[in-house]
Amino acid sequence: MAFLHRRSARDSYTDRKNPFSHALYFKLFPLHQRWSLPANPEYRPSPLEAVAYRYASFVLKSDFTREPPKGVNPAQDPNWVLNINAVFPNYTIDMLENGYFTYNFWPIAVDRTLWEVRAYFPHPRNAAERFSQEHARVTYRDLIMEDASTMENTQAVIASGAKTHFNFQDEELLLRHDNKVLAEYIGLTNGRVRVRRGGGGNHVRRPAA
Ligand SMILES: [Fe+2]
């Protein structure tokens, strides 16, 4: 947030107490993941953002007095802004105050992925709300285009073969978890747990025989 999204999000997710946008909460499920992020309650929106916020924009939060919807702020933090739910293997739901986004990641080659993003909002009641939602949509688009640029660069580095290992730091535990789950799922490890596809398309973990 403080570096990659410095121009797009400015300091809406960071402040002096949390300059690197540390997460509020992580939860690992056997296959899936959930985490949440705080926003900066002192953020001063631009004049255009201030207009959009008045009618339900949400990506860059400005009103911290409203109660978040039930169940989306597991850490019960007053600065909560965003919950990210990753459903193994390729689906993510980003929940915010007035809507949500979903991602589908489709592998199309060994080194290419199609990333589909959809935005869901309540039906706008008037033109002002519609404007506000469009503002949220393009704000989010800019943020994830910035995210994607780092992934493309990372992929280029991996493809070059110059680095043999990538070390994940503590707060990248979801990536570590994802790698572990995937390795188990496709049978790369000989650990005590094997993952098999169960009936009805469910992915279930069973102890190895
Ligand atoms: Fe990002």
Rounded distance from Cα 39 to ligand 1 centre (Å): 13
154 shares a domain with 173:
no
174 shares a domain with 113:
no
Q: What is the pLDDT of residues 27-58, one digit of tens each?
A: 999 999 999 998 888 888 889 888 888 887 66
Q: What is the pLDDT along the chain (209 residues), one digit of tens a residue?
A: 777 777 777 778 788 888 888 889 999 999 999 999 988 888 888 898 888 888 876 666 666 777 777 888 888 888 888 899 999 999 999 998 888 999 999 999 988 999 999 999 999 999 999 999 999 899 889 989 998 899 899 899 989 999 888 888 888 999 999 988 998 888 876 555 555 544 444 444 444 44
Rounded distance from Cα 3 to ligand 1 centre (Å): 10
Rounded distance from Cα 187 to ligand 1 centre (Å): 31
Q: What is the pLDDT of residues 178-191, one digit of tens each?
A: 988 998 888 876 55
What pLDDT shows up at residue 85? Answer: 96
Q: What is the C-alpha to C-alpha distance for residues 83 and 101, in angstroms, rounded to an integer?
A: 10
Rounded distance from Cα 146 to ligand 1 centre (Å): 7
65 shares a domain with 131:
yes
Rounded distance from Cα 2 to ligand 1 centre (Å): 10
What pLDDT shows up at residue 11? Answer: 77
Rounded distance from Cα 5 to ligand 1 centre (Å): 7
Q: Is the pTM of this model over 0.85?
A: no
What pLDDT shows up at residue 202? Answer: 42
Rounded distance from Cα 126 to ligand 1 centre (Å): 31
Q: 140 is in which domain, residue-wise?
A: 1-166
Rounded distance from Cα 35 to ligand 1 centre (Å): 14
143 shares a domain with 111:
yes
Rounded distance from Cα 172 to ligand 1 centre (Å): 13
174 shares a domain with 162:
no
Rounded distance from Cα 6 to ligand 1 centre (Å): 10
Three-state SS for the chain is CCCCCCCCCCCCCCCCCCCCCCCCEEEECCCCEEEEEECCCCCCCCHHHHHHHCCCCCCCCCCCCCCCCCCCCCCCCCCEEEEEEEECCCEEEEEECCEEEEEEEEEEECCEEEEEEEEECCCCCCHHHHHHHHHHHHHHHHHHHHHHHHHHHHHHHHHHCCCCCCCCCHHHHHHHHHHHHHHHHCCCCCCCEEEEECHHHCEEEEECC
Rounded distance from Cα 77 to ligand 1 centre (Å): 20
Q: How many domains does the chain have?
A: 2
82 shares a domain with 15:
yes
199 shares a domain with 184:
yes
What pLDDT shows up at residue 200? Answer: 40
172 shares a domain with 162:
no
Rounded distance from Cα 9 to ligand 1 centre (Å): 10
